[in-house]
Amino acid sequence: MGLSSDNIDLFLAVVDHGSFSAAARALNRVPSAVSMGIANIEAELGYPLFDRSRREPVPTARAQALVPHARLVASRLRLLQAHAVELSDDLESTLTVGVSAGVDHRPLLDAVAEIAARHPLLSVEIADAPQDDVREQLHSGTVDLALMFARTRNDREEVFLNVAEETFVAVASASVETFGIPADLRRLEDLAGARQIVVSSLERQLTERRLVVSDAYWRANSVETALGLVERGVGWANLPLPVVRARAAAGAVRVMEFENLRNGLAMPVQLVWLRGSPLRKAAGELVDRMGRDWRVRDRPRQGVRPHQAPPGP
């Protein structure tokens, strides 16, 4: 068939400019070359694309049927050419981001949408998992960036940038009695004998214990599962405030109150990458965008102050 990329450009130029001579000027060719090029395409297709019986060539019905598809192909070819240049300029073909369970996705999704508009053919993968699993994925090279809660100890192999902050609150069922919570609950440490639901990897040892208060705990690998167990009175949990806010408003869970402190532990959210794996183009743009947004964002914390959980078992 005669519809190569050059022939598509030639065909659309004649359609858009309305004559062989105008198309020739737009393509920096002579009119006879344009007329001959169209004639060659028509000869290969076996039917005319333009009615030449008038002063200027008019697209036939068959040509009009080809126009939208030709425009689509031309547009995709331009994107492909731009993407090929970007790949030579260190743009990765795929950007993979691991996200710790409980992290608010909205800032990440806003940044990804902007980068996707800038690099339309970039492939983006976003994987949710418990924090220990996300960190393992980062160190194994499965993900390029990890969006996760700050750890108590920094790893020298990791580079991080704070991009948000979440507040964790201790919650229990609002409708049924929770196993082990005393009726006269007053202090955070009174929860030590109650069953706690902890969001963590089921395959790895629990390494982060800032949110662990109880002597006995169950583990769930998603915030949704943990919240479901809390609603049913199986145990209580420390969960991100944005996750529990709607369920608290619906009367399914309650944010517990303590006499010795306010219920709320502020946790920085960080983008993390490995020192030995410098950021490529899209990853660097994502870090820049999310870091910039965090610096200019108003970050009020209304009615909550950090609580210090006693050491876990």
Residue 299 pLDDT > 90, yes or no? Answer: no
pLDDT score for 134: 95
Top-confidence range, 75-79, 152-156, 280-284: 280-284
Residue whose token pair is 């993900």 = 143
pLDDT score for 86: 56
Mean pLDDT value of segment 137-143: 94
> What would the pLDDT profile of 237-283 be if each residue is shown by its tens digit?
999 999 999 999 999 999 999 998 999 999 999 999 998 888 888 99
- Residues 251 and 133: beta-carbon distance below 8 Å: no
pLDDT score for 2: 57
Residue 304 pLDDT > 50, yes or no? Answer: no
Among residues of the chain, what percentage have pLDDT more than 90? 52
* Residues shown for the chain: 313
pLDDT range class, residue 303, cuts 50, 70, 90: very low
The gap between the terminal CA atoms of the chain, to the nearest Å, is 73
- Residues 198 and 220: beta-carbon distance below 8 Å: yes
R_g over Cα of the chain: 30
Top-confidence range, 23-27, 77-81, 252-256, 273-277: 252-256
Residue 309 pLDDT > 80, yes or no? Answer: no
| 3-state secondary structure labels for all residues of the chain | CCCCHHHHHHHHHHHHHCCHHHHHHHHCCCHHHHHHHHHHHHHHHCCCCEECCCCCCEECHHHHHHHHHHHHHHHHHHHHHHHHHHHHCCCCCEEEEEEECCCCCHHHHHHHHHHHHHCCCCEEEEEEECHHHHHHHHHHCCCCEEEEECCCCCCCCEEEEEEEEEEEEEEEECCCCCCCCCCCCCCHHHHHHCCEEEECCCCCCCCCCCCCCCCCEEEECCHHHHHHHHHCCCCEEEEEHHHHHHHHHCCCEEECCCCCCCCCEEEEEEEEEECCCCCCHHHHHHHHHHHHHHHHCCCCCCCCCCCCCCCCC
Q: Tell me the C-alpha distance between 253 and 243, whole Å.
A: 11
pLDDT score for 85: 59
Q: Tell me the C-alpha distance between 10 and 20, whole Å.
A: 10
User: Which has the higher per-residue pLDDT, 280 or 197?
Assistant: 197
For helices 223-231 and 241-249, what crossing angle results, to 10°? 30
Mean pLDDT value of segment 136-147: 94
- Residues 125 and 116: beta-carbon distance below 8 Å: no
Q: Tell me the C-alpha distance between 121 and 281, whole Å.
A: 14
Domains of the chain: 5-88 (1.10.10.10), 94-313 (3.40.190.290)
Residue 149 pLDDT > 50, yes or no? Answer: yes
Phi, psi for residue 41 in degrees, rounded to 5: -60, -45
> What would the pLDDT profile of 47-57 be if each residue is shown by its tens digit?
998 988 888 89
Q: Tell me the C-alpha distance between 236 and 214, whole Å.
A: 9
- Residues 281 and 86: beta-carbon distance below 8 Å: yes
Per DSSP bridges, beta strands 196-199 and 217-220 are parallel
Window from 143-147, 167-171, 278-282 with minimum mean pLDDT: 278-282
Residue 307 pLDDT > 50, yes or no? Answer: no
Q: What is the mean pLDDT of the chain?
A: 87
